[in-house]
Amino acid sequence: MSNTIFNSIYFEDILHYYEGSIIICDNTGKLLLCSDGTCKLTGLSREKLLNTTMQQLVDNGVFSNSSCLDCIKQESENMSYLILNGDPEQGIYAYSVPIFDSNHKLIRTITFSQSERFSIQYRNRVDELCRNMQQTFNTVLNSKKKHSYIAESPSVKRAFDYAKKVAQTDASITIYGESGSGKEVLAKYIHENSLRKNEIFVPVNCATIPEALMESEIFGYEKGSFTGANKSGKSGLFELANNGTLFLDEIGEMPINLQPKLLRVLETGEIRKLGGTTTKKINVRIISATNRNLLNMVKEGTFREDLYYRLNIIPITMPALRERIEDIEPLINFFLNIYNYKYHKSVTIDHSYKNAMINYAWPGNVRELKNAIQRYVITDGMSQDLLVGPSFTPSHEKTINSETEHILNDYIYEAPNVFRHFKDYKYNCEYQYFFELLKHTNGNVAKIAALSGLHMSGIYKRLDTFKLDPKKFQK
């Protein structure tokens, strides 16, 4: 057990003074530590509690069920409602958090619990209490827990170095990059290197919240604000992130009518809940991200210009995976280790196939690579076509090469029957080459990148020069 965490004076104070229950278990559910509040809640001595397991407490009727055991089984956070000692009047809300080691192996869980009676008594503060639980967890562990990232390519190293430099300020940051390129990883890195690193980090994807609910989710609402609203009202994500960092992913998807309210928060540091008449001061650092061109959206009238300049104080671009080839092999090995461990396997990838993956354009970026490796491990590498598609696997390399050679022979190496200026001949050959590639791939630029060995950005430039639209070749 880590002395640097559990033997600290600070953590002992938490165990003693925290009003609810804190239970720390190993990966089997055996109790390692518990707070004074746990003894008070269960009526059992610390000595008795520390000589038992969560499963035994459930079997003995102390708890009706266990969020800790569900957390261990799912290897993810879990919030549950429990009955204490078989008495329906003694309800408990429990929130369990998993802790992993550097090899992503579950080693412990921390469970925070609070009686329903307490929650009812302070129902207007329930959301704030949940935030405080998470904040306590972050405070204790954040100095030891750092989100890993892989940066072998110069462009990504520059992005992270720059992010670390600006992290110490509270200036608004906007991260630009394609979907799946790692914008949230960079946002977490900024938070972990900021003065708010011991506070909460709240990510929200604006594209996943229905427009009708976005205002109430982000800013909260007062009781009776609308039909179906919680009778006691609800705190929004800004309140949840108070003193910490709010990460607004896909900020370009925020409705235009909601943007002035976000702008007001940035300018005044105050929020007003939906249906509210008063404002509340908050202290939140905003990091936003998008895969869209916000400046073009400003010109189109779909994004407010004043909000753009407030969010875009410090812009950072996260390169696409095809632009950081040096990172592909380390990422392959990283995800391969994770999923081999998760699924209790020892799948490997042969050299030729790994090279095919490195040369693939990865239009879905790191997210696509991660999912591809997961599929590969699950299928024991039996079907390599499942990884990046049949057109890019080593088993098809000879076919691909012969097809490419056929195009080259027919349209590049064919001797002209009439001598022309070299530039004209070169232009015509390149035009015909890309025209045939578009026909062959049905306008799939990612496949063209794999066949030609060119980066997609270069291909798009050439297609633009030749006035060739890939969409016209799609079937």
CA dihedral for 240, 243, 245, 251, sign (positive or negative) = positive
Judge whether residue 452 has pLDDT over 90.
Answer: no
The answer to whether the CB of 282 falls within 8 A of the CB of 270 is yes
DSSP state letters, 337-368: HHHHHHTT------HHHHHHHHHS--TTHHHH
What CATH number matches the domain at 154-317, 1.10.10.60, 3.30.300.30, 3.40.50.720, 3.40.50.300?
3.40.50.300
* pLDDT tens for each residue of 281-334: 999 999 999 999 999 999 999 999 999 999 999 999 999 999 999 999 999 988
Paired tokens of 391: 């057109």
Instruction: Just give the CATH number of 3-123+130-140.
Output: 3.30.450.20
What local confidence, expressed as pLDDT, does residue 230 receive? 56
* pLDDT tens for each residue of 23-68: 999 999 999 999 998 998 898 998 999 989 999 999 999 999 999 9
Please state, in angstroms and rounded to a whole number, the distance separating the CA atoms of residues 312 and 444: 33
Over range 376-380, report the average pLDDT. 85
Judge whether residue 110 has pLDDT over 90.
Answer: yes
Judge whether residue 161 has pLDDT over 90.
Answer: yes
Please state, in angstroms and rounded to a whole number, the distance separating the CA atoms of residues 277 and 383: 60
* pLDDT tens for each residue of 384-404: 544 444 444 433 333 334 443
Judge whether residue 142 has pLDDT over 60.
Answer: no
Cα-trace Rg, the chain: 28
Q: Where are the domains of the chain?
A: 3-123+130-140, 154-317, 325-473
The answer to whether the CB of 25 falls within 8 A of the CB of 31 is yes
CA dihedral for 439, 440, 441, 446, sign (positive or negative) = negative
Strands annotated E in 213-368: 220-221, 234-235, 245-249, 270-271, 280-281, 285-290, 314-317
Integer angstrom CA distances of residue 85 from 43, 107, 172, 220: 10, 28, 50, 36
What local confidence, expressed as pLDDT, does residue 166 receive? 95
DSSP state letters, 77-111: -EEEEEEETTEEEEEEEEEEEEEE-TTS-EEEEEE
What local confidence, expressed as pLDDT, does residue 10 receive? 64
* pLDDT tens for each residue of 212-252: 788 888 888 876 565 555 556 777 888 888 999 999 999 99
The residues, any chain, with a CB within 8 Å of residue 167's CB and separated by 6 or more, are 189, 190, 191, 193, 194
145 vs 89, more confident: 89
